[in-house]
Amino acid sequence: MSEAKGDSRVTEVQEWLNETYEAQSWFTKLTVDGMTGAGTCKALCKALQYEIGVKNVDGVIGAGTLAVCPTIGATVTNTNLIKIIQCGFYCKGYECGGITGHYGATVEIAAQKFKMDAGFDAGNGELQPIFIRALLNTDAFVLVKNGKDYVREAQQYLNNTYIVKLSNWALIPCNGIPDRNMMKAIIAGLQYEEANHSTSGVDGIYGKNTLSKAPTLSSGTAKTAYVKIVQMCLMCMMETNAGMDGAFGSALKKQIEEFQKFYCLSGVTSGTVDRITWASLLSSKGETSRAAKACDTSTVLNYAKAKSLYDAGYRYVGRYLSGTVGGKRSKAMTAEEIADIFKAGLRIFAIFQEGTPSLNRYTATVGKEEAQKAVMAARQLGIPENAIIYFAIDYDVMDKDIERVKRYFEGIKRVINRYGKYYRVGIYGARNVCTKICESGLAESCFVSDMSTGFSGNLGYKIPKNWAFDQFHEYQFSSLDGTFGLDKNGYSGQYSGFDTVTVDNQMIPDVSDEYRKKKASALLNTIGIPLPSNFQWGNKWTIELPGAEVTICVYKSASKLPSTEGMLSFNISDGEIDTTLEEKMKDVYGKLDSKFTKDIGLTTPSAMFGMATQIENGEISYSYGIDIEGNLIFKCVSKQVLRSEGPVEYSNGYEFEYKIHKSDEQDPETDKVYDFEEIRAKIEAQDPVTQILFFITIIIVAAKAAVELVLTVIRIIVWILGRFLA
């Protein structure tokens, strides 16, 4: 569908639907915004059902609607039917000569183009029911952003070769993006080939029967239809162009080998599509009988259970930091359990999961609360620094809902950052949500819930490149101390968990010098100042500017900063400043003369907040005045908390002094000689929030090393003063 905002043709569609069907009880009036979406498409489907006499007008084109839906072309006399088709073309982005009710040459050309985009011959310009259903939905049949031509070719092949033969199946999108629809079509194609081109039993659902009939394929095989299915599977599961020629040569053999290696498949014949390889090509869980090195369980383990796991070949076990099973049995790790697990020779990876999975719980607030619980539990158990905590998304998250999960992980990340990144963030979930959260920089390792084969985020998606564990089978494990539920996990080697703990509830370790310097460098970079090559903690350095100078000092602890008594201050929490201050700053800077914003690099209001974002948690204090030489002085003292727990806190301290030299020269642009004493007095007369604006102006401009822009600094200060003075 067209994604253009305010598309005039889509506006026409919405207006026509409102005018034509507003009196009907089944019709909900559309917002006329020119945006194609589910509401507009559903209205078109309802209109179609109404016009062809379907009793239950619900907007769902299923078997009943298809059974009575006519082929629509030039011979159709119901002009509203033709108008519905024309509306569908406009919503899909095809030109069709207007919403006229006349099925002329322009409409026929649009129909032919649409059918070719879906993978079929152009035909005579008529639209059969299977194409009408595809036209009136939100699926794209043209290449979209990030789509691949070779994937689109495969999607068209699936439509033309298999889907069209299956009763009541909908055509799949041909947008170049692999997804569950494409994967179901691939499985249906395999079933069709296995049934000797019969549609009986073809349902697109992977199962043991489908797997048992899949032939072993190796180099030189003549089973081209099966080879094409393998090639299409690789497009989904490896996001690679495996071709569509049906030839099993050296190139495809190499791609199969890479697939087997990337998914860490055990017990396979390298470069051959055998049972285990087929299973992982067709399903996220793959062949569940294959061996595994890792596992996870909600059962609190003792030595006998842990030793039985080791003897069964497991080396890594996932255990929960907190929580219960069904509100009754504890699943939380204990210190005694950890000792038994290590004694048995196993390593541990930590999981956090509480509450009933639902979209509504994935908020930044819940993320913060749960990260705090997770860190506290991990610290109490003595889990070492740099360990990954896997936060669980045990829910089938649709692509449209990824933003909700991002907010949850943003909350988690803020708390983890507050502890100086003592622990690292991992995600447990389906393939798609894991990939999207990691691509957003909110997690760095994946524990993939591949056992949930029905999740929309697993079917047709490649396993994330940074997967560490791959949960693929749940069963009852028999140990020396009874049976208990266990999940088998694939192991990639990208993260190995931990095999030591150090319990010290009173103190948390200091951060490294390297980490301190990294944080200092990142903060100073936001204001355009690099750490000097001869940098030493507590040593000042000065940057000379025409008409001004900046002196900077970075301390290894904020306790070494000079006193901030008498200075104006504001706090920073989770990278955010006070909302009132932020809104006022946006208002003022948003109305700055464009020359000023261009000069100092403030192309967007968000550019002002880089320093706060880098500090993350801490405080900024400032003062200003005039020295004995008449120079205008702005001072800034900043505390950056790197790690804290209870009374223990580790921090960096920053001291800035920005000195504008006194000058009796006129500003060539304004013909003014600036009186610094007058400026200081006027600043002092403002409320604290307004005064902070001046401080941030100085920091930003000095920081952007507005080397020759000292006058710009003064002009902005004078401008803001003029704005706020009565």
What is the per-residue pLDDT across 434-447, written as a single tens digit (0 to 9) for each? 999 999 999 999 99
**Distance separating alpha carbons of residues 229 and 127, to the nearest angstrom:** 29
Do 552 and 540 meet the contact criterion of CB atoms below 8 Å apart? Answer: yes
Structural domain boundaries of the chain? 1-142, 145-283, 294-491, 513-724
Both tokens assigned to 424: 């690292």
User: How many angstroms separate the most distant Cα atoms in the chain?
Assistant: 96
For the stretch 3-57, pLDDT in tens is: 445 799 999 999 999 999 999 999 999 999 999 999 999 999 999 999 999 999 9
| Measured CA distances, 84 to 43, 325, 598 (Å) | 10, 53, 50
The closest alpha carbon to 87, from 96, 78, 79, 75, belongs to 96
> Residue written as tokens 């409320």?
687
The single-letter code of the amino acid at 681 is A
Average pLDDT value for residue range 699-707:
47
pLDDT at 461: 94
Q: What angle, 0 to 180 degrees and rounded to 10, lies between the N-to-C axes of helices 224-237 and 275-282?
A: 50
Both tokens assigned to 109: 């050309």
Q: 379: helix, coil or strand?
A: helix
Phi/psi of residue 638, each to 5°? Answer: -130, 135
**Distance separating alpha carbons of residues 98 and 697, to the nearest angstrom:** 55
Long-range contacts of 643-649 (CB under 8 A, 24+ apart): 643/418, 643/419, 643/420, 643/422, 643/508, 643/510, 643/511, 644/418, 644/419, 644/420, 644/508, 644/617, 645/379, 645/419, 645/508, 648/507, 648/508
Per-residue pLDDT band for 589 (boundaries 50, 70, 90) equals: low
Strands 388-392 and 347-352, sheet pairing = parallel
Do 639 and 619 meet the contact criterion of CB atoms below 8 Å apart? Answer: yes
Per-residue pLDDT band for 690 (boundaries 50, 70, 90) equals: low
Interacting residues of 139 by C-beta distance below 8 A, sequence separation 6+: 1, 171, 172, 173, 175
pLDDT at 723 over 90: no
The helix or strand, by DSSP H or E, that contains position 682, with its residue range, turns out to be: helix 676-684
| Four-CA torsion 592, 595, 596, 599, nearest 10 degrees | 150
Long-range contacts of 514-518 (CB under 8 A, 24+ apart): 515/420, 515/421, 515/642, 516/556, 516/642, 516/652
For the stretch 320-355, pLDDT in tens is: 999 998 878 999 999 999 999 999 999 999 999 998
Average pLDDT value for residue range 614-620:
85
The helix or strand, by DSSP H or E, that contains position 63, with its residue range, turns out to be: helix 63-68
Interacting residues of 512 by C-beta distance below 8 A, sequence separation 6+: none
Q: For the chain, percent helix, then strand, then coil, each to nearest 5?
A: 40, 15, 45
According to DSSP, residue 666 is labeled P
**Distance separating alpha carbons of residues 298 and 485, to the nearest angstrom:** 8
Beta-strand ranges (E) seen in 358-514 are 388-392, 424-429, 445-448, 467-479, 482-491
Both tokens assigned to 628: 């004995």
According to DSSP, residue 665 is labeled S
For the stretch 350-371, pLDDT in tens is: 999 998 888 999 999 999 999 9
Q: 392: helix, coil or strand?
A: strand
**Distance separating alpha carbons of residues 124 and 136, to the nearest angstrom:** 20
What mean pLDDT, rounded, does the chain reach?
88
Average pLDDT value for residue range 587-610:
50
Per-residue pLDDT band for 396 (boundaries 50, 70, 90) equals: very high
Do 547 and 661 meet the contact criterion of CB atoms below 8 Å apart? Answer: yes
Both tokens assigned to 82: 């033709």
**Distance separating alpha carbons of residues 529 and 543, to the nearest angstrom:** 9
pLDDT at 236 over 80: yes
Average pLDDT value for residue range 114-118:
98
According to DSSP, residue 558 is labeled G
pLDDT at 602 over 50: no
Both tokens assigned to 315: 């080396």
For the stretch 482-541, pLDDT in tens is: 999 999 999 999 999 999 998 765 456 778 888 899 999 988 887 778 899 999 999 999
Q: What is the 3-state secondary structure (H, E, C) of 126-187?
A: CECHHHHHHHCCCCCCCCCCCCCHHHHHHHHHHHHHCHHHCCCCCCCCCCCCCCHHHHHHHH
Give just the sign of the alpha carbon dihedral 220, 222, 224, 225: negative
Within a 13 Å sphere around the CA of 358, how many CA atoms are in the beta-carbon half? 4
Looking at the chain, the whole-number percentage of residues with pLDDT higher than 70 is: 87
Per-residue pLDDT band for 103 (boundaries 50, 70, 90) equals: very high
Interacting residues of 339 by C-beta distance below 8 A, sequence separation 6+: none
pLDDT at 570 over 70: yes
The single-letter code of the amino acid at 6 is G
pLDDT at 117: 98
- Assign a CATH topology to domain 294-491: TIM Barrel (3.20.20)
123: left (phi over 0), alpha (psi -120 to 50) or beta: left
Do 408 and 364 meet the contact criterion of CB atoms below 8 Å apart? Answer: yes
pLDDT at 427: 98
Do 679 and 514 meet the contact criterion of CB atoms below 8 Å apart? Answer: no
Per-residue pLDDT band for 677 (boundaries 50, 70, 90) equals: confident
Both tokens assigned to 618: 């801490």
pLDDT at 172 over 90: yes
Strands 388-392 and 424-429, sheet pairing = parallel
Higher pLDDT, 535 or 549: 535
Do 173 and 140 meet the contact criterion of CB atoms below 8 Å apart? Answer: yes
The closest alpha carbon to 256, from 274, 245, 614, 560, belongs to 274
Looking at the chain, the whole-number percentage of residues with pLDDT higher than 90 is: 68
